[in-house]
Structure 1
């Protein structure tokens, strides 16, 4: 199963418009079913996300990413957004996507999307723990060229 992570293109627009503050805002990770179709070009706010999962051990809106940091490494020209791994303990659920978004603004129509993870296939737990272990490089990276 190939797991991929991608930015929503308009995340950069939201960041430059001061709608996202990675290390001080509440950044959340929510799960969606395979019926959700991420659109990097048009999805900008949480109101565009459909088919959030339901299940035991899952709360609507997802979990908060802890320890969010943003760093820049001059030698490689890489900006890294990082945070703690996220998990849903004691859960019974099925998900295909994880969506990272800024939950600080007041409504879903103003909560910017940042990135998403495509698990490559449905992942499930039955009274278990679903954990997303972020890549050692971070939740998401950008190479500035």
Structure 2
């Protein structure tokens, strides 16, 4: 299964115009079914995301991402976004995507999207734990050159 992680293109505009503060805001990870089609170029706020997962052990809006942080590696010119692994214990659900967004603003129309993960296929749990173990290099990165 090929897993891919991508920033939403408009995240960078949100970051540069101070709509997202990764060091102070609450960042969440929500799960979506295969009915959601991510649009990296046009989706900018949570209200653009559809088909959120429902199921036992899952709370609408998703789980809070612990320790969100940005780091820059000069030798490779890489800016990486990282955070703690996320899990849903005792869950029964099926997901295809994870969507990371800033949940601090007051409405879904103002909650900026940051990135999404395509699991490559549906992942499911039945009274088990679904864990997203982020890559050691971070959730997602971009090369600045």
Normalising by the smaller structure, the TM-score range is over 0.9
Judge conservation of contact 1:105–1:111 (CA < 8 Å) in 2.
yes
**2:10 & 2:53 partners in 1: Cα distance?**
24
**2:128 maps to 1:131:** no
Structure-2 separation of matches of 1:15 and 1:67: 17
Q: Distance in 1 between matches of 2:140 and 2:3?
A: 13
Once residues 24 and 73 of structure 2 are traced to their aligned partners in structure 1, the CA distance between those partners, rounded to angstroms, is: 20
**Distance in 2 (alpha carbons) for counterparts of 1:72 and 1:7:** 16
SS of 1:104's equivalent in the other structure is coil
- Residue 114 of structure 1 is matched in structure 2 by 114
Deviations 1:88-134 (CA, angstroms, capped at 9, x unpaired): 00000000000000001000000000000001111000000000000
Unpaired runs of 5+ residues, structure 1, are none
Match in the other structure for 1:37: 37
Q: How far off its partner does 1:25 sit?
A: 0.8
CA distance in 2 between counterparts of 1:76 and 1:4 reads 20
SS at match of 1:95: strand
Q: TM-score, normalized by length of structure 1?
A: 0.98
Corresponding residue of 1:65: 65
The match for 2:5 is 5
Unaligned runs of 5+ in 2: none
The count of residues paired between Structure 1 and Structure 2 equals 145
The TM-score normalised by the length of structure 2 is: 0.98
SS of the aligned residue for 2:37 comes to: coil
Q: Helix, strand or coil for the counterpart of 1:35? A: coil
Q: Secondary structure at the match of 2:127?
A: strand
Aligned residue number for residue 26 of structure 1: 26
The one-character-per-residue Cα deviations of 1:30-52 (angstroms, maximum 9, x if unpaired) are 00000000001110000000000
* Contact residue 22 and residue 81 of structure 1 kept, 8 A: no
| 2-structure distance, mates of 1:80, 1:120 | 22
